[in-house]
Every structure is written in C-alpha cells, then in structure tokens.
Amino acid sequence: MMLRRLVQATRILVMFSLLLAAGLGVTVLAQAEEAEVIKNPYAGVNWDEVNQYTANLHAHTVKSDGRALPEELISNYAEAGYDILAITDHDNYHTTREGEPETTPTTDTTWPWTEWIEEEPSEVWEYDGMETSAFYPDLGERGMLAIRGNELTTHPHIASLFNDSGWPDTDQTDDERMSCVQDKNGLAYWAHPATYVPGGRWEDNVVDTSWDEAVEYFANYITEYDCLLGFEMQLGGRREREEELLDRLLTGYYRDHDIFIKGSDDTHSTSVADDATLTIVLVEELTEDAVRHALENGHNFVGSRVDVFPEFNGITVDEDEKVISLDIANHDGVTWIKNGERHHEGDSIEYAGMEDTVLRFEVDAGGAVFYSQAFYID
C-alpha cells in the first residue's frame, strides 16, 4: 500500500513539474514574441486640441498650364472650404490655348498672392530673406494659409513647397533639384508618381519600367533626402496603381525611412471638382510651423471632397491589450491593410503576434475612401 501511494505521488509530482515547465516556457516564449508598435505617425497628435484643415498642395493657373487666373483659383478654393492652398505652377513650361491669356515660360513661383488679390496677409513667414508662406484671415471661413511652391518639371515631376526653387530648362538631375529644395529649407514630394509606373502614361520616363525598378527609383531618393516626404495620391483613375505603389514602397522601405502620402487634385481647371482629392491636415492652428510639422510627421489623411467629412477624433495604441483603436465619427466602415493585403474590418484591430508588419487603414465615408499613414509593428 505504501509503495502504491509513493508511486502515485511521484506521478503527480512529475506531471505537475511538466505542466509548470510547459507553462513557464509558453510565458517566456510569449514575452519573447510580444509585438510592439515601432512606428505610429499619429503618436504626436494632440487629439484634444487639433483641428481638421482641408488642403490642396498642387494647383495650376494660367501662369503655367492651368486655365484659371490666379485670383480665380484662390477664390474658388476659399469658397469651396479649403484652409490651405499651394499654387504650384510649372517652373519651365507653359501652354497657350485659343481664347486664353498667353503665358511665357518662367522659373518664378506664383507669388506673392497680393499681386492678384485685394486681401492682405496678417502674417508672412520667411527663410533666409525668402518668403515661404502667408496667412490670409479674410479668405474662407477660417482664413487660408498660402504656401509658396512650384512643380519642378522633369520626369518624374516634383512638388516643391515653402521655397522658390525653379529652373528654366529640364537639364538638371533630380539630385540637383532635391538638393536645392533641401538647401532652401523646403519640403517636397513626388507628384503623380502613378503615371511613371507600369500602366502609367509616362511609364518609360523613369526607367525601362518594371515595378521593381520604379519602386527602387523613388525609394532611393526618399531614403537620401530628408526634405522628400513621400508621394502624391490623386484617387482618380490611377487609384489602383497608387495603392500598389504605396504598399510596395511601405513594405520595402518603411521600416527604416518615413514614407508619407499627400493628396491633391493637380487642378488645371477653372473650378474645384466635386470629388477632388485633398489632404486633411491635423494641426492646432494655421501657421507655417504647425503645418510644416504636420506634413513632415505624417499628421494627415488623404481623401476626397464629400458632403460630410469623417471626423478623426483619436487613434489609441493599447500596449497591454495589443490593440489599435480608432475614434472616427461620420464614417461607413474601416478596412485594415496588412503588408499590402486586406486583413480586417472594424474600428479596432489586435496586433498581438504580428511580426515585421506594415499596417494602414482605409475609411469609407460619404462614398469616398480616406487613407491613413502606416504603422510598423514588430
């Protein structure tokens, strides 16, 4: 009897030891594989204080190949509810159209706005004696921040902001152009890059173009120049190529380098399109410092004009529960994109167990799609 009890006790002790060891092993393994949000572009947003401001960062007038007079363009966007506008006429070519004012090629930026409108700015910002932006309190309901810019016209085109860079011809390399923008403390992003990838209108103007070659071309500059923020989305017929370019760049390079999207309509028209692509900028006030900081750090969304915009009220990362939660009003649904593939639907997502993951989300609202910047989880 004593022997039998001893054997049973030994078996129980062995089983308990095995279970304990297994449990400790699982705990250690779970801790070793615990996922973390390495990059959260919205981490620095003060959600209690920021406002949503509507921006168009790429627009043309008759000073290059647009159809609107500068004063007409400014008025149109102010009346359409925009708070931030960059007139980016081409730096070295123009278009003449029958019945429209003839222009001549120039490297000058379409600046200052006071040459065309009666309103006066309440504040003008400068860098090294060069005007870079101005705030017009009497334009629109909340005033308008005017950003000095240019579209640097080689292939691919470069949208240049907060500076006066420009060239009379197309002989300069992209390195020379980016270096000039950077030296002048400006910001830049690739304009309509989806036209230079396979299936795009100018696909042969970058390389012989395979997707890998095109992505590498854009990425090489993004990883080298701090002034180059990322690239532009226009959400029209190019949307499929824009999304593919975005996900290829993010999955290939976002771990080590910031890549942010900006939205614009690249207007050449005399009116603002009802579905124009735009950027929603999250800032507390319409000053150059605030808007620059937001653009540099990805504090924005890209979407289109709608009757009722989604309200982005907060993004929370719960490190204990491993959940990213969104507080968004006026929307019809959220889709999460994981490493370029549709992964989950809902206003929150669990990221426990994710490894080497680029995660972004798309918000459906008013028949339009609004794109976030990306998170990186490892």
pLDDT above 90 covers what percent of the chain?
81
Nearest to 187 by CA among 227, 223, 156, 219: 227
Kindly give the interhelix angle for 239-253 and 211-222, rounded to the nearest 10 degrees.
Answer: 60
CB neighbours of 288 closer than 8 A, spacing ≥ 6?
Answer: 125, 132, 133, 145, 147, 162
328 versus 17: the higher-pLDDT residue is 328
Rounded average pLDDT over 139-151: 97
Two tokens, residue 33: 């594989």
**Does the pLDDT value for residue 1 go beyond 60?**
no
Q: Read off the pLDDT of residues 211-269 as tens digits, 9 standing for 90 and up.
A: 999 999 999 999 999 999 999 999 998 999 999 999 999 999 999 999 999 999 999 99
Report how far residue 14's alpha carbon sits from residue 16's, in angstroms, rounded to the nearest whole number. Answer: 5
Q: Read off the pLDDT of residues 283-293 as tens digits, 9 standing for 90 and up.
A: 999 999 999 99
Two tokens, residue 18: 């095995």
Most distant CA pair in the chain, distance: 113
For residue 150, the model assigns a pLDDT of 96
The number of residues in the chain equals 378
**Does the pLDDT value for residue 160 go beyond 60?**
yes
Range name among 120-124, 164-168, 240-244, 317-321 with the lowest pLDDT average: 164-168
Q: Read off the pLDDT of residues 329-359 as tens digits, 9 standing for 90 and up.
A: 999 999 999 999 999 999 999 999 999 999 9
CATH of 44-305, one of 3.40.50.300, 3.30.420.10, 3.20.20.140, 3.40.309.10: 3.20.20.140
Question: Tell me, what amino acid is at 376?
Answer: Y
**Does the pLDDT value for residue 144 go beyond 70?**
yes
290 versus 155: the higher-pLDDT residue is 290
Tell me if the bond preceding 156 is cis, omega within 30° of 0: yes
Nearest to 69 by CA among 98, 107, 110: 110
Two tokens, residue 93: 């070519």
Nearest to 321 by CA among 342, 350, 345, 287: 350
Residue ranges, comma separated, of all CATH 2.60.40 domains in the chain are: 313-378
Report how far residue 11's alpha carbon sits from residue 14's, in angstroms, rounded to the nearest whole number. Answer: 5
Strands (E), the chain: 37-39, 51-59, 84-87, 123-127, 130-136, 144-152, 158-161, 187-190, 228-233, 260-263, 277-283, 300-304, 311-318, 323-329, 333-338, 341-345, 348-350, 357-365, 368-371, 375-377
Q: Read off the pLDDT of residues 3-21 as tens digits, 9 standing for 90 and up.
A: 344 445 545 444 544 444 4
Report how far residue 217's alpha carbon sits from residue 198's, in angstroms, rounded to the nearest whole number. Answer: 13
For residue 170, the number of C-alpha atoms closer than 13 Å in the C-beta half-sphere is: 12
Report how far residue 232's alpha carbon sits from residue 347's, in angstroms, rounded to the nearest whole number. Answer: 26
For residue 23, the model assigns a pLDDT of 54
- Helix or strand or coil: residue 187? strand
pTM score:
0.90
CATH of 313-378, one of 3.40.720, 1.10.10, 3.40.50, 2.60.40: 2.60.40
For residue 205, the model assigns a pLDDT of 87
Rounded average pLDDT over 311-330: 97
DSSP string, 29-79: HHHHT---EEE-TTTT--TTT-EEEEEEEEE--TTTT-SS-HHHHHHHHHH
- Determine contact, residues 358/35, Cβ cutoff 8 Å: no
Q: Read off the pLDDT of residues 28-69 as tens digits, 9 standing for 90 and up.
A: 444 446 899 999 999 999 999 999 999 999 999 988 889 999
- Determine contact, residues 167/91, Cβ cutoff 8 Å: yes
For residue 32, the model assigns a pLDDT of 42
CB neighbours of 340 closer than 8 A, spacing ≥ 6?
Answer: 244, 247, 248, 250, 251, 358
pLDDT above 70 covers what percent of the chain?
88
Q: What are the Cα distances from residue 183, in Å, to 87, 186, 258, 284?
A: 21, 8, 20, 28
CB neighbours of 121 closer than 8 A, spacing ≥ 6?
Answer: 113, 114, 134, 135, 136, 146
What is the pLDDT of the chain when averaged over all its residues? 91
**Does the pLDDT value for residue 209 go beyond 70?**
yes
CB atoms within 10 A of CB 209: 18
Phi and psi at residue 239, to the nearest 5°: -55, -45
Range name among 65-69, 95-99, 274-278 with the lowest pLDDT average: 95-99
**Does the pLDDT value for residue 98 go beyond 70?**
no
221 versus 204: the higher-pLDDT residue is 221
Residue ranges, comma separated, of all CATH 3.20.20.140 domains in the chain are: 44-305
CB neighbour burial string for 230-267, b if at least 16 within 10 angstroms, e if fewer: bbbbbbbebeebbbbbbbbbbbebbeeebbbbbbbbbb
Rounded average pLDDT over 92-96: 70
CB neighbours of 97 closer than 8 A, spacing ≥ 6?
Answer: 67
